[in-house]
Every structure is written in C-alpha cells, then in structure tokens.
Amino acid sequence: MQLTVNGQMQQCNDDTTLLDYLQGNGVDVKAVVVELNRTVVKADDFGTTVLNDGDVLEILQFVGGG
C-alpha cells in the first residue's frame, strides 16, 4: 500500500501498525510526534493504529543539542 510520509510517497505492507512502520524506519518512538491524516496520534496508540492505503503521515522528531 502507499502512504505519504512527510510529503514523500512510501510503500508499506498491509496490516502494518504505526509502531511497526516507525521502528522499521529507524524512528526513535520516544522522541517523536506523529500526525496521521491531520490528527495527532498518542504514543500509547502507535501499536494499535493500523495504517491504510492513502494515509498521510507527518513525523516530527525531536533533536537535542546545545
């Protein structure tokens, strides 16, 4: 299935959860905010949120520095 992730088309398998997608792409789920179809998803819901064809994800990662 196809997703739009941060403005880029991406492929992923059917029945993929948001958590599976993030971990499979090396995203630190403890330092991220995810918007799915313009709705913020709580981190506690990443593992139960199943992605669907045509979904739009915006992934914002926090970066420390100083």
- The pLDDT tens digits along the chain (66 residues) read 999 999 999 999 999 999 999 999 999 999 999 999 999 999 999 999 999 999 999 999 987 776
Q: What is the CATH number of domain 2-61?
A: 3.10.20.30
Instruction: List the chain domain ranges.
Output: 2-61
pTM for this model (two decimals): 0.91
Contact 37, 55 (CB under 8 A): yes
Burial class (CB in 10 A: 0-12, 13-18, 19+), 4: middle
